Amino acid sequence: MSQMQNVERQLREMILGLEIGPGERLTERWIESRFGASRTPVRAALLRLETEGLICRDGRGWTVAPINLAELGQIAVYREAVEVAAVRLTAALEDRGGIELIAAMLDSCDAETPREEWHRVGLDFHIELARLSGNEFLLRAVRDAMTRLSRARWLEVRDERALGRAWAEHHAILAAVRNGDAEQAAQLLSAHIAGSRDRLVTSLHDDRRGLRARGFAVVAA
């Protein structure tokens, strides 16, 4: 792994895991010191993260992008277009081996499972369903969308009821896929995406003051 790739990977993980919060300022000097990297790979890594929408330029420095409530609605529309297309392809598969692996992944989470793992598995559920479609363009689109949602979903997994509902919906979608019912899987996934959007926006809107008190930037548009 190159120095640029290492800086990019670690910074992405820190941003998505909220170790570096939305709205927090970053300097190239701090990054160079933190990761023992030189200026050129640090700048290259920052440019890559900028294209993902995770950071933005702020004068001579950089700022971690705020969580944008309006963007969550736009991502939901995008997800419905690409994920529903992918799940229809996945439901038509004759080989059910990959579906059972996803089911085992969901079942691996229980009361003793750390929230970090719930978060990862929730993202991976959508990505792996798209992977089974066999369409690399749809897979890339779903992966990119889930990356943009990752920080907001960290806040969602704190809510026990929201988490339980999301998992029940995941299992229902997977059951329809397992049965080869593309129409049912598409309807359930569409409803899940809309419900997840509504829960996230409501939670973030209601908790905006508390999030700001923690130094997290949340904007309405």
Q: Give helix 39-51 / helix 28-35 axis angle, nearest 10°.
A: 110
Q: Where does residue 65 rank: exposed (0-12), middle (13-18), buried (19+ CB within 10 A)? A: buried
Check residues 43 and 221 and name the one with the higher pLDDT: 43
CA count, 13 A, side-chain hemisphere, 167: 21
Q: For 69-207, CATH number?
A: 1.20.120.530
Q: Which amino acid is at 159?
A: D
Q: Other CB atoms closer than 10 Å to residue 5's CB: what's the count?
A: 13
Please determine, for residue 177, whether its predicted confidence score (pLDDT) is greater than 80: yes
CA distance 59 to 46: 14
Give the contacts of 111 (CB within 8 A, at least 6 positions apart). Answer: none
Locus of tokens 């990356």: 147
| Total-model pTM | 0.82
Residues 6 or more apart whose Cβ sits within 8 Å of residue 7: 31, 35, 37, 41, 42, 45
- Work out the burial of residue 90: count CB atoms within 10 Å of its CB; fewer than 13 is exposed, 13-18 middle, 19 or more buried: buried
Distance CA 210, CA 15 (A): 19
pLDDT in tens, 118-135: 989 999 999 999 999 999
Instruction: Identify the pLDDT of residue 139.
Output: 98
User: From CA 196, how far away is CA 198, in angstroms rounded?
Assistant: 5
**What's the pLDDT at 16?**
83
- Site of tokens 């969308």: 145
Query: How does the average pLDDT of the chain come out, rounded?
Result: 90
Q: Which residues contact 140 (CB under 8 A, 6 or more apart)?
A: none
Return the DSSP state at 181.
-
pLDDT digits (tens, 9 = 90+) for 186-201: 999 999 999 999 988 8
Look at the domain 3-65 and name its fold: Arc Repressor Mutant, subunit A (1.10.10)
Q: What are phi and psi of 58, to 5 degrees?
A: -140, 85
Residues forming CATH 1.10.10.10 domain(s) in the chain: 3-65
- Range list for CATH 1.20.120.530 in the chain: 69-207
